[in-house]
A and B are shown apart, each in its own frame.
Chain A
Amino acid sequence: MNKVTDAREAVADIRDGASLAVGGFGLCGIPMDLIDAIADRGVHGLRVVSNNCGVDGWGLGVLLDAGRIARMTSSYMGEHAEFGRRFRSGELEVELVPQGTLAERLRAGGAGIPAFYTPVGAGTDLASGGIPLRHAPDGSVAAHAPAREVRVIDGAEVVLERAITCDFGLVHAAVADTVGNLVFHSSARNFNPLCAMAGRITIAEAESIVPSGTLDPDHIHLPGIFVQRVVRARATTPKRVERRAVTAP
């Protein structure tokens, strides 16, 4: 078994309207080379699940700015100006999800749990269905996210959340072996293992690729059963820092 291929080949069957679970938190741990390869393919109408959507001109921002994304599922749009503009003008549908709920929905999708109850969002307009999902061109709210089923378990209100699975999972790892076992580095792990689990076909880019049998099985963070294709990340692709603390001690 050898899952190693190149980025262009790895994304060749991603078509218009595909759903993608994309790892990363801000610009940390994002699969930048895979994003670039998808941008080169010129596909449209992508439905992307990712905690954030990059920044203007970097990360998923590359696809967003080019109008390739129709729908985002995210917890935070941050300071990405184009993301906000497209959302408010109705060009982009955005499902806002609490960050932990997003992580668990992806994990559940990969773990075969179709839905779960969580206390997060109980008593807020997440549960009652008041968070804007889509705007009209004039900026008014055209659709709200649907209300969640709510029930009381052990005396506390909880809301039903559905699992997320996607056509493709796109992740970034520090090290992969040739059969797709992955090792992540530091906080670049974030959503990557969960997006890998939630993808029906998962493509991992890795900073280095080692032969199968090289990694200590005790030190593998994500087993290769969740990864179908492995791509070597370009050494020339920079890792960007989104923000720096104002004062260094």
Chain B
Amino acid sequence: MTGTSGAKADARKRIAARGAQELREGMYVNLGIGIPTSVPSFLDPDVSVVLHSENGLLGIGGFPAPEDEDPDTINAGKEPVTLAAGAAVFDSALSFAMVRGGHLDLALLGGMQVSATGDLANWRTAGKLIKGMGGAMDIVRGARRVVILMEHTAQDGGAKLVRHCTLPLTGKGVVDRVITELGVFDITGQGFVLRELAPGTTADEVRGRTDAPVTVDMRRPWGAAWN
């Protein structure tokens, strides 16, 4: 069991590290709950981005020492945070005006299923306790670019990259890219296109664990820096 959970942790770390490379200098970015939460720890210190939090913050800093906690300053996960230099605070309507109005450059979010046409399901499963969509439906519709960070297959081995989502949708045709521990996939008019393959895997393995056609059009090796 330890081996399995260790492999899972490694996969999630690998996804977060690759996800961090999606962030470029000067971007305004929203990070969702799940794997995206750990992206900042993999961010190149020379790249400066502004992190948006749906509850009304631009410019989230690190976590405070316990004695410096301010219960009035929290992130979307309801954890106390600090404000970075240049931060701004505002109300929820203005926060989502930024989101819907196309002012966010990038959203990195978790996912349960992504379809070959870019549909995303990540807010509820059939039959289980519904917690609510929070800001996810707004963010996937509004951010200029939506990248999903998720494990390639579900706990039970079922595919998460699929022809059609079977779970209720968060957004239709909203996903631009998916990053899993096996590779980087762009959603194009031709469905999933494999752009990068992780070390130690093959396109055949990827196809075997994906429930939709995968076109291979590699742009660069895993994790190579953008030019």
Chain A positions within 8 Å of B, measured between CB atoms, are 25-29, 51, 74-78, 84, 87-88, 96, 98-104, 106-107, 118-126, 130-132, 174, 184-194, 221, 239-245, 247-249
B72-90: contact bitstring with A at CB < 8 Å (1 yes, 0 no)? 1110011110010000011
Q: In the complex, are the beta carbons of B93 and A186 less than 8 A apart?
A: no
Q: In the complex, are the beta carbons of B63 and A245 less than 8 A apart?
A: yes
Q: In the complex, are the beta carbons of B132 and A29 less than 8 A apart?
A: no
B130-163: contact bitstring with A at CB < 8 Å (1 yes, 0 no)? 1111111110011000000000000000000000
Q: In the complex, are the beta carbons of A243 and B77 less than 8 A apart?
A: yes
The 28 listed contacts between A and B (C-beta, < 8 Å) are A25-B55, A25-B56, A25-B78, A26-B78, A27-B78, A51-B92, A77-B131, A84-B131, A98-B134, A98-B135, A99-B135, A100-B93, A104-B96, A119-B100, A120-B141, A121-B137, A122-B172, A124-B169, A124-B171, A125-B168, A130-B168, A185-B72, A186-B72, A187-B53, A187-B55, A191-B91, A194-B91, A245-B80
**Cα separation A82 to B2 with both chains bound (whole Å):** 34
Q: In the complex, are the beta carbons of A120 and B55 less than 8 A apart?
A: no
**How distant is B146 from chain A, measured CB to nearest CB, in Å?**
13
**Cα separation A221 to B93 with both chains bound (whole Å):** 13
Inter-chain contacts of A184 with B (CB < 8 A): 91
**Cα separation A138 to B85 with both chains bound (whole Å):** 53
Q: In the complex, are the beta carbons of B133 and A98 less than 8 A apart?
A: yes
- The A-B contact count (CB < 8 A) is 169
* Interface of B, helix, strand, loop or mixed by DSSP: loop
**How distant is A99 from chain B, measured CB to nearest CB, in Å?**
4
Q: In the complex, are the beta carbons of B168 and A100 less than 8 A apart?
A: no
**Cα separation A187 to B54 with both chains bound (whole Å):** 10
Of listed B55, B90, B131, residue having the most chain A CB within 10 A: B55
Inter-chain contacts of A124 with B (CB < 8 A): 137, 168-172
Inter-chain contacts of A28 with B (CB < 8 A): 55, 71-72, 74, 78
Q: In the complex, are the beta carbons of B96 and A100 less than 8 A apart?
A: yes
**Cα separation A103 to B93 with both chains bound (whole Å):** 5
**Cα separation A188 to B74 with both chains bound (whole Å):** 8
B95 contacts the other chain (CB 8 A): yes
Known: A99-B92, A101-B138, A190-B55. A78 touches B131 (CB 8 A): yes
Name the residue of chain A whose CB is nearest to the CB of B140: A120
Chain B positions within 8 Å of A, measured between CB atoms, are 41, 53-57, 62-66, 69-74, 77-80, 83, 89-93, 95-96, 99-100, 119, 129-138, 141-142, 168-173
Q: In the complex, are the beta carbons of B138 and A99 less than 8 A apart?
A: yes
**How distant is B151 from chain A, measured CB to nearest CB, in Å?**
19
Known: A120-B138, A189-B89. A132 touches B168 (CB 8 A): no
**How distant is B144 from chain A, measured CB to nearest CB, in Å?**
13
Q: In the complex, are the beta carbons of B72 and A25 less than 8 A apart?
A: no
Q: In the complex, are the beta carbons of B79 and A119 less than 8 A apart?
A: no
Name the residue of chain A whose CB is nearest to the CB of B135: A99
Inter-chain contacts of A131 with B (CB < 8 A): 130, 168
Q: In the complex, are the beta carbons of A103 and B92 less than 8 A apart?
A: yes
Name the residue of chain A whose CB is nearest to the CB of B38: A247
Name the residue of chain B whose CB is nearest to the CB of A122: B172
Q: In the complex, are the beta carbons of B78 and A192 less than 8 A apart?
A: no
Inter-chain contacts of B95 with A (CB < 8 A): 100, 103
Q: Besides A75-B135, A99-B134, A241-B78, 5 other CB < 8 A contacts?
A: A174-B72, A186-B72, A187-B74, A241-B79, A248-B66
Name the residue of chain B whose CB is nearest to the CB of A124: B169
**Cα separation A124 to B170 with both chains bound (whole Å):** 6
Inter-chain contacts of B73 with A (CB < 8 A): 186-187
Inter-chain contacts of B41 with A (CB < 8 A): 249
Inter-chain contacts of B99 with A (CB < 8 A): 100
Known: A27-B78, A124-B170, A125-B169. A76 touches B131 (CB 8 A): yes
* Residue in B78, B80, B134, B170 whose beta carbon sits within 8 Å of that of A75 in the complex: B134
Name the residue of chain A whose CB is nearest to the CB of B94: A103
Inter-chain contacts of B173 with A (CB < 8 A): 123
**Cα separation A102 to B119 with both chains bound (whole Å):** 23
Q: In the complex, are the beta carbons of A98 and B138 less than 8 A apart?
A: yes
**How distant is B124 from chain A, measured CB to nearest CB, in Å?**
9
**How distant is B185 from chain A, measured CB to nearest CB, in Å?**
21
Inter-chain contacts of A120 with B (CB < 8 A): 100, 137-138, 141-142
**Cα separation A242 to B71 with both chains bound (whole Å):** 9
**How distant is B66 from chain A, measured CB to nearest CB, in Å?**
7
